Structure 1
């Protein structure tokens, strides 16, 4: 077992990082799962404590990856349970260039970087300080997992353990969160079989050192929530015509470009966190004409999808905003064509452009075929399954968009509004329940104590993590209808993407980060702050767990 010491945690971190468990590399991800499983199985229990350790096969995962579940329970039933969770996959190492082969060997990479020098000033200063360990997965987030595994060993040795500790380590967080999404049903079932209710969830994600600004100093941030993310998508269906007869048709490329102009960085989708921080604006991640070869016909199909961050807004609310944007884009398209026609001395009738949601097209298809909505959804799933499974999930969804439009046989140009994968529900501490209030107090105390123990006061609190994390899948803070709007408007649901909706609606777990600290996640200078992560963070974690246990 791994001792709960700086040396023990560092040794386990080095072993975990030595496995290059890059997202999508199933063999290595499963090898890392095996190491975590073996480490947990090696933990002895004292005083009648029990530690149950299992693999969870990630549901609907074509790569057949595994998550690792554990549950530590005392001899005498404990009323309260804390979840320790995190991911063991890492991002690619290509950015390391010639040092790629050393990227997962933390001591060797750090030594080599000292020999070479020449890093950016901040990274070079950290390197020369001797207080930072460089390498892929060092801070994002295998140090957090090493800390958690060692903590389970510490608590398993307690004669009078007064809390249940659940553990879940998953693959694929860095890609599509297939690990967390695919393990939640079985994870919840395993807890339910033991009569376990979660009172708090702590992630081993690190405190990502912030950059100093003119207003705030650099700090290690702690948070009690995670930003949401949704991907609105649009399929523009135009009217084909040879380019010599431009005004006899309607270019879908023009239609979709107006959608992008309307929504890109649009204030209509602007949101602030609970503490007033503006989220990043909506951004188009893909805009494309949907054809495979050269043609002198006006494009009949074009598509675009956007990255939208959210805190309060539900999929249903965002769908309504996007529908209005599509209507505005349709009007601007017709106005632009009208202006162009006049400039060319043409008088042409302008076709109306309809705007539909995916759910509305499903209803139209059901009416046309005298079938149920469920039958049409099954038809779409069957089509999505026929698409090559090695394609990107967004491409599978877009092809299913197009298939639905083909089936309905739209008579006029149209813009279809829906979603493509992935979706991350926003999750934040609303300070309503006793568990939420308690965890908020614990995190506030952690921030104060962390600054004192570190000796620099460089810790801070923020309501939500401004990135995306698997914490999103520990509950949905909205009504079922709002979540079903996502399912009903994402073509390929159940194939390209899926969510454990029942579990999302049933869970209500306050969350916080309680891991190490580091800098430059996903970069070739990713690094872990050693003293804080190996000496301060372990004390903070124990204090937090003990406080949760007291209730």
Structure 2
């Protein structure tokens, strides 16, 4: 079984943490360069430089790259295990006055005031058993252990009956463009080097299931997520004459009220039930103050999936959107009637009907009404948007939808539903192939090994709930993606796309075995030293050994 060089592991870890790599910025390239340097320092890659590669993400405005490193074993088997991890981190704004040392744990911990922390973080800080800093758990440790595992394999090739492939990807904290691009690289590498992938192992730290959860976990699959946007079109009017229009904020609020924390829109798998959807943003589209009511507003909602396809929830939301439109129109009419009654006056009513469209419905209307002018207009818009790589994908989707809508003749109040990036397909544990059944079994064996060798209770969970890039090596709802998500995501094929056929071909067994940490994305993010540097590497080595067995 492989044994990592702990001294080298820790040294590389702190060096990697020190490299700022805020997601969605050019700084991500700093961690990529650090990883390449660490591999280049290994004699194996000095002798075999072709096994260390950087692949640019296509059409990326920040010139970010996927890093791959391959260590071949004794040649007796082409079985290959992928060790993957993301190289970016969230920003450090939450560290306040300590932002300048957030990437340097030793300096940071000298400045931290334990009295400002909650009880759990304070106890961990005072124990001396934890490392605090941005990226230490999410996920520079997992990446560093994977690098150390390849270094160990490179020193013990004769003992390795198979191959190890490291894949380091940027942008996981944003839109996962790195792993989406890497899926294509994985197919290329398998063909170029005759690699038979038997498992993809991510090194994300475990996620607690409740506040104060101190348990350790490893995972057989991963939750999926999609983001559904609703764009409400009202009828603007002067704020002093509010009954003569229909406020888009009313419409979108009626829909949010029906979606927010609605357990009928939560997914489940066997006896496990997952969190219901929640709104990630809600706003109208007015850019500055005036006394007009907003003509349009939008909100986007986070959905988790474990079993059902996004289309299942899309159809349910469409029903709720009809209800929201109906109630908004009923309220407008009801309050207008009350006004006439209270003012002893008479007037007419708008005769609107509830309308709900998908984005694909909108595109068809625009093509029919706009013809070639519509196609040329959208091409011109896309040429301009290409010059703005920093534009948020959600804002881009709104802009694309609005341009399409400008060619639609129907301007009555309505709700338009569409998907926005990112989309993470779920991977539920399955025994549909011998390899996937074996991967599930090996995760259970790792748990037993942890108890036997280290007296550590490590629970086995079916789904990693923190969302991760494992989603892009297998696709269990491929046909719904093709028929429902692709035509209803404005960005698809322009600035965002999943290589559906590639992911279907990969169809890999997955697992997540990672370090022990707490408080991802918080200024108390921390990593348990002993478990993460001593025990976790041995659990990973055990999983590798078992997966490569004949």
Instruction: Compute the TM-score of the two structures, normalised by the length of structure 2.
Output: 0.91
- Residue in 1 that maps onto 2:94: 95
- In the alignment, the residues of structure 2 paired with residue 197 and residue 12 of structure 1 have an alpha-carbon distance, to the nearest angstrom, of 29
Q: Any gaps of 5 or more consecutive residues in structure 2?
A: 341-346
Residues 10-25 of structure 1 aligned to structure 2 (within 5 Å): 10-25=10-25
More displaced stretch, 32-41 vs 361-370: 361-370
User: 1:33–1:68: 8 Å Cα contact kept in structure 2?
Assistant: yes
Displacement after TM superposition at 1:394 (Å): 0.7
User: 1:3–1:153: 8 Å Cα contact kept in structure 2?
Assistant: no
- Residue in 2 that maps onto 1:419: 419
- Residue in 2 that maps onto 1:367: 368
Aligned pair count?
539
- Residue in 2 that maps onto 1:356: 357
Secondary structure in structure 1 of the residue aligned to 2:137: coil
- In the alignment, the residues of structure 2 paired with residue 116 and residue 252 of structure 1 have an alpha-carbon distance, to the nearest angstrom, of 47
- Residue in 1 that maps onto 2:121: 123
- Residue in 2 that maps onto 1:321: 316
1:290 matched to 2:285? The reply is yes
Displacement after TM superposition at 1:351 (Å): 1.0
User: 1:51–1:73: 8 Å Cα contact kept in structure 2?
Assistant: no
**CA, structure 1 residues 302+211, in 2 after alignment: closer, same or farther (shift >3 Å)?**
closer
**CA, structure 1 residues 42+376, in 2 after alignment: closer, same or farther (shift >3 Å)?**
farther
1:234 matched to 2:230? The reply is yes
- In the alignment, the residues of structure 2 paired with residue 152 and residue 297 of structure 1 have an alpha-carbon distance, to the nearest angstrom, of 62
Residues 37-436 of structure 1 aligned to structure 2 (within 5 Å): 37-45=36-44, 52-76=51-75, 78-113=77-112, 119-158=117-156, 159-208=158-207, 211=210, 218-272=214-268, 274=269, 276-345=271-340, 347-370=348-371, 380=378, 382-387=380-385, 388-436=388-436
User: 2:309–2:480: 8 Å Cα contact kept in structure 1?
Assistant: no
- In the alignment, the residues of structure 2 paired with residue 312 and residue 250 of structure 1 have an alpha-carbon distance, to the nearest angstrom, of 38
User: 1:49–1:161: 8 Å Cα contact kept in structure 2?
Assistant: no
Displacement after TM superposition at 1:469 (Å): 1.0
- Residue in 2 that maps onto 1:509: 508
1:446 matched to 2:443? The reply is no
User: 2:369–2:409: 8 Å Cα contact kept in structure 1?
Assistant: no
- In the alignment, the residues of structure 2 paired with residue 106 and residue 69 of structure 1 have an alpha-carbon distance, to the nearest angstrom, of 27
More displaced stretch, 300-309 vs 50-59: 50-59
Instruction: Compute the TM-score of the two structures, normalised by the length of structure 1.
Output: 0.91
User: 2:175–2:422: 8 Å Cα contact kept in structure 1?
Assistant: yes
- In the alignment, the residues of structure 2 paired with residue 189 and residue 112 of structure 1 have an alpha-carbon distance, to the nearest angstrom, of 47
Q: CA-to-partner distance for each residue in 1:390-437, whole Å, 9 max, x for gaps? A: 332111111111111111121422211111221111122122211111
- In the alignment, the residues of structure 1 paired with residue 540 and residue 120 of structure 2 have an alpha-carbon distance, to the nearest angstrom, of 28
- In the alignment, the residues of structure 2 paired with residue 497 and residue 378 of structure 1 have an alpha-carbon distance, to the nearest angstrom, of 21
- In the alignment, the residues of structure 2 paired with residue 292 and residue 116 of structure 1 have an alpha-carbon distance, to the nearest angstrom, of 42
Q: CA-to-partner distance for each residue in 1:194-245, whole Å, 9 max, x for gaps? A: 33232111111122455577xxx73111111111111111112222333455
Secondary structure in structure 1 of the residue aligned to 2:407: helix
| Root mean square deviation, CA, Å | 2.6
**CA, structure 1 residues 50+403, in 2 after alignment: closer, same or farther (shift >3 Å)?**
closer
Q: Any gaps of 5 or more consecutive residues in structure 1?
A: none
